Chains A and B, each alone.
Chain A
């Protein structure tokens, strides 16, 4: 690798500047707006300090939405990582049709949230959804299970749908990590008489541990900031059972036209995400930037 003394601006900046413009400016902008009264209803912009934050935090939905978002995060993120790792381990094997299966596993990743939402309404709809129909045909239930209309079940249903959309990315990173595992190590362990379970426990899992932590935090981040899928499935209901913090931003800004309050929620979300991002940089294997 060669050294250049000067920063190669012409090579780097065309990629770096647009990304910076679409990240740093919006965050700064949200911060500024959150400290001002910016509303379509009152056209005068004025500095109000932390009033927006106080107003939002003491508002009737904030605590509920924050609780929902946190619960959503701690249930979805580990599920994605555990299931994704299991699928990745399975897909590393060679068997008839595995190539096709590996491609198909990516499908949920490509689908826009609105489409995934419709697919899962198909599954969970209380009156004609597949789960209830099958259970009814098998004679296991006599009344409908209210998957999308009872608060806890609705929460469960949207979590399953969200996990479904997030698994592909985890599978890919996990498979990439598994492929860096030294095959000689596995062979040596096999020769030494290690069972499959022991090899998993003592060689494979320690090998993927650090990337699993990264994925866990990453998935916490996506769950904490997700919006479209859950909203399209339940509209945040029943009541406020599936109202997440991310569409609280939407509601404040675009249906109440109180951009100051919307920005305050935004900045709270950004601050919590910021903590998670710092956690990711700590958890990343230290070698990753060395010769990147």
Chain B
């Protein structure tokens, strides 16, 4: 703390921090607890919750070894489902789709962001306005027509269709964020380059891109994140079970009455863990700068 504040203020800060932490992370902690407490303990009111903490659900999902508890009685046996074992695979699918969206976003978005940041041209205002407002059109309204479009193109039931939609949905954000970064670069650099005879393409590839590499990586991560969380398009466009991304598999698990509560929670924890890495990266490399007042340019 920079200024020496009173002792009471420190306590208030701690309480505030705890409240924020409790509200955002509390539900996630619940899922972690639920994943290690077997259902029979959870739903039995006479047993202490943490009497039989076990990682057997995790072992089942990754190795297929059915926990002994499920084998004991016939009734419980049905409470385990192969569907939960799709979790690791679905994360891999999500990673592929999101990475492709990341690359496409940078390839298509960076040049546009560059000219928006550096040049005045006819049509600039309304095209930028359009990009800014396009993401506001509700997904639910777009789903049927886009589905029909992609069906005509033969892209339904493959990862390709999902990649396409996720890329396009993130593009406006990519252009917006990157143009902020490009605008912050000292314009003397570009002026010097032009005097030395650089073309616009060279300005972009030799100066803007190398300088913006961290920003490009970060903005790409942002597109990655949007793709990871997207559900609606992923659901209607995905094909057979083995190629579905995490959001779709999780939704199916949540509605599958054959999956025990602790198994569902285990799958959810497995899906949440990579996102913790993701938000840390996105925060450090994209948002920290924007939020620290570096925007003025």
Residue ranges of A at the interface with B (Cβ–Cβ < 8 Å): 1-8, 10-12, 14-16, 18-23, 25-27, 29-30, 33, 87, 90-91, 93-95, 97-98, 101-120, 122-123, 128, 130, 164, 167, 172, 175-176, 179-180, 218, 221, 224-225, 227-228, 232, 246-247, 249-250, 253, 259, 262-263, 266-267, 269-270, 273, 276-277, 280-281, 289, 291-292
Given contacts A19-B131, A280-B136, contact A123 B27 (CB under 8 A): yes
B280 contacts the other chain (CB 8 A)? yes
B30 contacts the other chain (CB 8 A)? yes
Q: What residues on B are CB-neighbors of A29 within 8 Å?
A: 144-145, 148
B116 contacts the other chain (CB 8 A)? yes
Name the distance in Å between B37's Cβ and chain A's nearest Cβ. Answer: 11
Judged by DSSP, the binding face of A is helix
Q: Is the CB of A18 within 8 A of B171?
A: yes
Given contacts A4-B119, A118-B268, A180-B293, contact A289 B128 (CB under 8 A): yes
Q: What residues on B are CB-neighbors of A102 within 8 Å?
A: 283, 288
Q: Is the CB of B254 within 8 A of A273?
A: no
B251 contacts the other chain (CB 8 A)? yes
Name the distance in Å between A276's Cβ and chain B's nearest Cβ. Answer: 8
Q: Is the CB of B140 within 8 A of A8?
A: no
Name the distance in Å between A150's Cβ and chain B's nearest Cβ. Answer: 21
Name the distance in Å between B105's Cβ and chain A's nearest Cβ. Answer: 9
Interface contact tally, CB-CB below 8 A: 269
Closest A residue, CB atoms, query B164: A18
Name the distance in Å between A206's Cβ and chain B's nearest Cβ. Answer: 18
Q: Is the CB of B141 within 8 A of A249?
A: yes
Q: Give Cα distance in the complex from A217 to B167, angstroms.
A: 26
Q: Give Cα distance in the complex from A232 to B235, angstroms.
A: 14
Q: Give Cα distance in the complex from A247 to B66, angstroms.
A: 38
Name the distance in Å between A144's Cβ and chain B's nearest Cβ. Answer: 12
Provide the B129-152 mask, 1 if CB < 8 A to any CB of A, else 0: 111011011111110111011000
Q: What residues on A are CB-neighbors of B247 within 8 Å?
A: 112-115
Q: Is the CB of B145 within 8 A of A6?
A: no
23 A-B residue pairings within 8 Å (CB atoms): A4-B121, A8-B115, A8-B121, A15-B109, A19-B130, A26-B142, A90-B16, A91-B20, A93-B13, A94-B2, A95-B17, A104-B25, A104-B276, A113-B247, A115-B268, A119-B27, A122-B30, A176-B295, A232-B255, A253-B144, A259-B144, A270-B137, A292-B128
Q: Give Cα distance in the complex from A33 to B296, angstroms.
A: 46
Name the distance in Å between B221's Cβ and chain A's nearest Cβ. Answer: 11
B175 contacts the other chain (CB 8 A)? yes
Q: Give Cα distance in the complex from A164 to B25, angstroms.
A: 10
Name the distance in Å between A110's Cβ and chain B's nearest Cβ. Answer: 4
Q: Is the CB of B268 within 8 A of A7?
A: no
- Of B34, B230, B250, chain A has the most CB atoms within 10 Å of the CB of B250
Q: Give Cα distance in the complex from A225 to B142, angstroms.
A: 12
Given contacts A18-B168, A180-B293, contact A112 B30 (CB under 8 A): no
Q: What residues on A are CB-neighbors of B127 within 8 Å?
A: 12, 16
* Sample of 20 more A-B contacts, CB < 8 Å, known A30-B141, A123-B30: A7-B122, A15-B109, A15-B171, A19-B171, A25-B145, A93-B13, A107-B24, A109-B225, A112-B228, A118-B265, A119-B30, A122-B265, A130-B30, A172-B290, A228-B231, A246-B138, A262-B144, A269-B140, A273-B137, A273-B141
Closest A residue, CB atoms, query B42: A128
Closest B residue, CB atoms, query A276: B136
Given contacts A110-B275, A115-B250, contact A95 B13 (CB under 8 A): yes
Q: Is the CB of B111 within 8 A of A14?
A: yes
Judged by DSSP, the binding face of B is helix
Q: Give Cα distance in the complex from A9 to B49, angstroms.
A: 63
Contact pick for B20, options A2, A101, A292, CB 8 Å: A101
- Residues facing A in B146-198 (CB within 8 A) are 146, 148-149, 165, 167-169, 171-172, 174-175, 179, 183, 187
Given contacts A228-B251, A277-B133, contact A110 B229 (CB under 8 A): yes
Q: What residues on B are CB-neighbors of A98 within 8 Å?
A: 17
Q: Is the CB of A19 within 8 A of B120?
A: no
Provide the B268-297 mask, 1 if CB < 8 A to any CB of A, else 0: 100110011011101110011011110110
Top-8 shortest CB links A-B = A114-B251, A179-B293, A225-B138, A112-B247, A26-B145, A119-B27, A29-B145, A15-B112
- Of A221, A280, A292, chain B has the most CB atoms within 10 Å of the CB of A292
Q: Give Cα distance in the complex from A180 to B291, angstroms.
A: 9
Q: Is the CB of B31 within 8 A of A122?
A: yes
Q: Give Cα distance in the complex from A269 to B140, angstroms.
A: 9
Q: What residues on A are CB-neighbors of B183 within 8 Å?
A: 291
Q: Is the CB of B228 within 8 A of A110?
A: yes
Contact pick for B232, options A105, A227, A269, A277, CB 8 Å: A227
